[in-house]
Structure 1
C-alpha cells in the first residue's frame, strides 16, 4: 500500500500540489483504508482496557 502512495505522489506535481483525478481517487482510497485501520486499532485498545488486559493509555 505504501508503494501505491509513493507512486501517486511521485506522479504528482508536488510543487503546486496538482493531482490527476485518478491520483486523487487513489489517494482518497488509501486514506479511507488508513482511517479504517485507525478505527480498528482504537476499538481494539478500548476492548482490551474493558477486559482488563491493559491499563488505559491516559
Structure 2
C-alpha cells in the first residue's frame, strides 16, 4: 500500500471537539508536525474531515 505524509498547518484552537480528536488520532499535536500513514480508506476519511487544518503528500 502507498503511504501519505500528513502535516498540520493550522491550529486546532477554536475547532469542534471531533476535529481536535481526529487530529490526535492522526498523531498530530503541533503545527508543523509531520506523520506518515498507510493510504487506507479510514485514514483518508480522517484527513478529509480536517483537510482545512492539514496538508498531504504522497510518500
TM-score (norm 2): 0.35
User: More strand per residue: 1 or 2?
Assistant: 2
Q: Which has the higher contact order (CA 8 A, sep 6+)?
A: 2
TM-score (norm 1): 0.35
Larger Rg: 1 or 2? 1
